């Protein structure tokens, strides 16, 4: 049994991780932490867990938690997450970090987008990006995995094969993404107050969202070309799901069928990526670790559409998939939809 401790257990990604891990035959959740809610039962915080798990939330005391865990899922905010990751790595634990602390290629880019403070700057750029479809082998042997951002997953999966094969102009890409509100986390704020965002649709962070450099850098890492996307996230009045509509200029004339074929070949055998002919909807993949994606060619330009559940393939499901890679379990364990 892999003993898993979950840091920052009161948020939505931690909640989904708990539910997934409760189904995992080779995992036991042995600790859940939160600074603010320590002392409460985890089921008092997430009522849906009533009768399903009997754990009390603890403060994250590293020796205590380390003594009863093999693997840490850190659902803490950036900065705080790396700080804890360092401590648990030092204690010999493996870590899947849900934050952005280790996702980027270089510390300079991190600092430009996230601020100067990074408690573990030296590791930045050396940590594997936890998208098994692209980086499976390195994940298997890693002690620390940078779990991908939700938007980046939805953008990278459709774009990676086309960029790698030199089919699209890496500076022509527009990623227009739409996310459910759970992506904003569990802390109440006016923007995510029900009567503000219900029955409303809006863009936010236009040109300033931190997932823009992540998309660029991971695509660069994978395809060895300089990528510069225009990324626009939007808030959609629904709980969960991301749909990304992606526009790119091909480097040579491409038929729709060829684009679909290239995507199909790239993801043949992948259990969680389905290249479909129809136009997918976020509901088709809700509550699953699946990515549905398709392609169209419109007036010579390529339009890619991908759907994921932002909390599953975009966060907790990806983490469990990484866990499976790290421990040699079949990748679909606990993730069969």
| CA distance to 33, 48, 59, 132, 147, per residue, from 10 (Å) | 8, 13, 12, 26, 18
User: Quick one: 125 or 337, whose CB is closer to its own copies?
Assistant: 337
Work out how close the CB of 125 gets to its own copies at its nearest, in angstroms, rounded to a whole number.
23
User: Quick one: 72 or 248, whose CB is closer to its own copies?
Assistant: 248
User: Quick one: 61 or 208, whose CB is closer to its own copies?
Assistant: 208
List, as own/partner pairs, every contact residues 140-143 make where C-beta atoms lie below 8 angstroms and the sequence separation is at least 24, other chains included.
140/325, 140/326, 140/328, 142/94, 142/326, 143/89, 143/94, 143/95
Under rule CB under 8 A, residue 90 binds its own copies: no
Choose the stretch contacting its own copies; rule: CB under 8 A; options: 28-36, 66-74, 124-132, 194-202. 194-202
Chain residues 145-164 in contact with its own copies, contact rule CB under 8 A: none
User: Quick one: 20 or 128, whose CB is closer to its own copies?
Assistant: 20
Under rule CB under 8 A, residue 135 binds its own copies: no
Answer for the pair 192, 184: CB distance below 8 angstroms, yes or no.
yes
| CA distance to 44, 47, 106, 332, 335, per residue, from 52 (Å) | 12, 10, 42, 22, 18
CA pseudo-torsion sign 22, 24, 25, 29: negative
Choose the stretch contacting its own copies; rule: CB under 8 A; options: 107-115, 141-149, 257-265, 280-288. 280-288
Chain residues 200-219 in contact with its own copies, contact rule CB under 8 A: 200-204, 206-207
x/- track of binding to its own copies for residues 38-67 (CB under 8 A): ---------xx-xxx---------------
Chain residues 224-263 in contact with its own copies, contact rule CB under 8 A: 228, 230, 232, 234, 236-241, 243, 245, 247
Count, residues near its own copies per rule CB under 8 A: 72
Backbone phi and psi for residue 190, each to the nearest 5 degrees, phi listed first: -55, -40
Under rule CB under 8 A, residue 299 binds its own copies: yes
Answer for the pair 263, 158: CB distance below 8 angstroms, yes or no.
yes
């Amino acid at each position: 049994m892999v003993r898993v401790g979950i840091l920052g257990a009161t948020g939505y990604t931690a909640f989904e991780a708990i539910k997934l891990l409760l189904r995992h035959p080779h995992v036991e959740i042995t600790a859940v932490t939160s600074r603010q809610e320590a002392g409460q039962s985890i089921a008092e915080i997430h009522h849906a867990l009533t009768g399903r798990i009997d754990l009390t939330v603890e403060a994250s005391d590293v020796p205590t938690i380390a003594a009863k865990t093999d693997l840490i899922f850190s659902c803490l905010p950036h900065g705080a997450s790396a700080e804890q990751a360092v401590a648990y790595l030092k204690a010999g634990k493996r870590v899947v970090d849900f934050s952005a602390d280790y996702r980027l290629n270089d510390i300079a880019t991190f600092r430009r987008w996230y601020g100067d403070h990074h408690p573990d700057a030296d590791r930045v750029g050396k940590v594997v990006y936890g998208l098994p479809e692209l980086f499976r082998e390195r994940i298997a042997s890693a002690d620390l995995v940078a779990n991908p951002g939700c938007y980046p997953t939805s953008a990278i999966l459709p774009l990676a094969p086309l960029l790698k094969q030199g089919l699209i102009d890496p500076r022509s890409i527009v990623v227009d993404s739409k996310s459910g509100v759970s992506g904003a986390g569990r802390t109440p704020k006016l923007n995510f107050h029900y009567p503000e965002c219900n029955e409303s649709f809006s863009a936010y962070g236009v040109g300033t969202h931190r997932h823009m450099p992540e998309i660029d850098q991971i695509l660069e890492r994978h395809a060895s070309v300089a990528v510069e996307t225009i990324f626009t996230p939007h808030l959609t009045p629904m709980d969960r799901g991301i749909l990304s509509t992606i526009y790119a200029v091909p480097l040579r004339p491409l038929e729709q069928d060829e684009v679909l074929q290239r995507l199909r070949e790239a993801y043949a055998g992948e259990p969680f990526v389905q290249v479909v002919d129809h136009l997918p909807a976020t509901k088709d993949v809700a509550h699953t670790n699946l990515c549905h994606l398709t392609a169209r060619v419109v007036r010579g330009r390529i339009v890619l559409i991908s759907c994921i559940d932002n909390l599953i393939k975009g966060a907790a499901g990806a983490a469990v998939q990484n866990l499976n890679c790290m421990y040699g379990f079949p990748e679909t364990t606990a993730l069969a939809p």
